[in-house]
C-alpha cells in the first residue's frame, strides 16, 4: 500500500494561498506574517502570561473568571484589524 506523505496530503487538500508565507498586509491570511501583526501577537502573549501569573497569585474563581474574560476582550482589541 502506498504511504501518504503529510506534505502531499496538505498540497492536495489545502488551497494554494495557505502555502505562501510571504507577508502581505492586504491579504486576509498572509497579514499574519507581517512584522506589525507578529508584534501584536507578542503583546497578546505577554498580556496572557501576566494574566496567568495574577491568577496564580489570587486563585479565587470569580476573580479568575472576570480576569479571563477581560483578558479575552483585551486580546481581541489588540489584534483587531479594523481601522
**83 lies in the same domain as 69:** yes
To 5 degrees, how large is the angle CA 72–CA 45–CA 22?
A: 110
**38 lies in the same domain as 73:** yes
To 5 degrees, how large is the angle CA 72–CA 51–CA 46?
A: 85
**26 lies in the same domain as 44:** no
Domain that holds residue 6: 1-33
Question: What b-and-e string marks burial along 56-79, b requiring 16 or more CB atoms within 10 Å of the CB?
Answer: eeeeeeeebeebeeebeeebeeee
Domain count, the chain: 2
Give the three-class secondary structure for 58.
coil
- pLDDT of the residue at 23: 80
Q: pLDDT, tens digit, for every residue of 22-79?
A: 887 887 778 888 899 899 999 999 999 999 999 999 999 999 999 999 999 999 999 8
| Angle at which helices 61-79 and 35-57 cross, to 10° | 170
**42 lies in the same domain as 74:** yes
Amino acid at each position: 500500500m502506498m504511504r501518504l506523505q503529510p506534505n502531499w496530503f496538505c498540497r492536495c487538500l489545502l488551497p494554494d494561498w495557505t502555502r505562501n508565507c510571504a507577508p502581505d498586509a492586504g491579504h486576509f491570511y498572509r497579514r499574519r506574517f507581517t512584522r506589525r501583526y507578529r508584534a501584536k501577537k507578542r503583546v497578546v502573549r505577554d498580556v496572557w502570561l501576566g494574566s496567568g501569573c495574577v491568577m496564580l497569585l489570587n486563585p479565587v474563581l470569580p476573580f479568575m473568571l472576570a480576569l479571563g474574560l477581560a483578558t479575552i476582550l483585551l486580546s481581541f482589541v489588540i489584534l483587531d484589524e479594523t481601522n
